[in-house]
Amino acid sequence: MITPADDPAALRLAAGRIRTGGLVAFPTETVYGLGCDALNAHAADRIFLVKQRPSFDPLIVHIDDRTMLSSVVATLPVGADQLIAAFWPGPLTLVLPKHPQVPDNVTAGLPTVAVRMPAHPTARALIRLSGCPIAAPSANPFGYVSPTTAQHVREGLGDQVDLVLDGGPCPIGVESTILSLVGAYPEILRPGSVSLEDLRHVLGPAVRPAGARPLSPMPGTGTRHYATRTPVTILSRLGERPSVRSTRRVGLLALSAIDVLDDRFAVVEVLSPSGNVQDIARRLFAALRWMDTQHLDHVYVEPCEQVGLGVAIMDRLRRCTAGPHPGEGDRAGAAR
Ligand code: AMP
Ligand code: MG
């Protein structure tokens, strides 16, 4: 069932479901999450089952205040307080030492827990009314493009979710930045809209960018992920146009307005006419999903500049194109 997120009765119903071990999909400022009581191991098991998420891929725990933070975290490492003051509520997830009461399946057996205080009013209201921290990965089948609307959630998970709170499209559109504070250096595990520059501004130059070490084996940070069924190729520069065989149905995802409409492309989608990076991030996943419904043989996407939010956009696009592709039959014929 999809219900409007601004309906107080729907929010109370959703909180009741969370308290009794149910699953509720809800909007955050990044993407839609599939949430359950983070201290209920059985409910967390259901999330892994519904998403078909491997048990070694830990969940992010969402909190509403400092009291909840102390219920999931054992200690706060150096730097945590400054980061919390600067970026919470907001799209920054911190990896911290885990409190023993957080079930092991939530953290995939790790001694650490990923925690975030979201800024979205619906997410906050749901956590507050539920009275417990909420474990929530993105509300989509494992490995597919994350949902940024309630409709995306329904398309991916159908009626396996007890309730979907519809708060409209997510304002940021890519998942949170994940920063580990448990190693020798603060290290970005996944880039997001809180950038390396933002983090260094608070913690200094010690912060390591994502990928500074060999890729971790963790899904969402290391392997093919966020993937469409249609093969995607990132063009080498803005404005590059691949040569396309006339027998192929090919789509172009352009970052900004394009000069000439090219009839080699069956579908052209412009993410932001003015090339605004926030708009590109906000619309990226919906555009990839839409392209995936257009029966295309291949999608080409323009690259964006790798600074600030552009790092996160390119990270998601690379994961979308990485590794062997299930629907790749015709890829050898894709002229570039
Ligand atoms: P999502 O699928 O967007 O909810 O993101 C969850 C991701 O957060 C996982 O795939 C991991 O990459 C990361 N993560 C969660 N918990 C931890 C942890 N304890 N240590 C390191 N990374 C974590
Ligand atoms: Mg995910």
Smallest-distance ligand from the CA of 143:
2
**Cβ neighbours for 323, distance < 8 A, ≥ 6 positions apart:** 223, 224
**Most informative mutation of 48, 60, 92, 102 for ligand 1 (most atoms within 8 A of CB):** 60
How confident is the model over 294-308, as a mean pLDDT?
A: 95
Which protein residues touch ligand 1 with a CB less than 6 Å away? 57-60, 95, 107, 110, 112-114, 137-138, 175, 178, 189, 218-221
In a domain, 327, yes or no: no
Which ligand 1 atom lies nearest to the CA of residue 113?
Answer: 19
333 is a domain residue: no
Domain assignment of residue 88, given as a range: 2-203
Q: What is the CATH number of the domain that holds 118?
A: 3.90.870.10
Residue 216 lies in a domain: no
User: Is the residue at 222 inside a domain?
Assistant: no
* 57 Cα to the center of ligand 1, angstroms: 7
Q: Please check whether residues 170 and 276 belong to one and the same domain.
A: no
Q: Which of the two residues, 214 and 153, has the higher pLDDT score?
A: 153
18 and 130 Cβ atoms separated by less than 8 Å? yes
For residue 186, say if its preceding peptide bond is cis, omega within 30 degrees of 0: no
Report how far ligand 2's centroid is from the alpha carbon of 62 (Å).
14
pLDDT of 331 strictly over 80: no
Q: Is residue 254 assigned to a domain?
A: yes
Mean pLDDT of the chain: 91
Ligand 1: atom nearest CA of 219 is 10
**CA nearest to 191, candidates 218, 211, 172, 171:** 211
> Does residue 78 fall inside a structural domain?
yes
Count the domains in the chain.
2
pLDDT at position 262 is: 76
Same domain, 195 and 245: no
Mark whether 102 and 245 lie in a shared domain: no
101 pLDDT above the threshold of 50: yes
pLDDT tens digits, residue range 254-280?
Answer: 999 887 777 889 999 999 999 999 999
* Predicted local confidence at residue 219, as pLDDT: 47
| Å from CA of 276 to ligand 1 middle | 28
Q: pLDDT for 108-128, tens place per residue?
A: 999 999 999 999 999 999 999
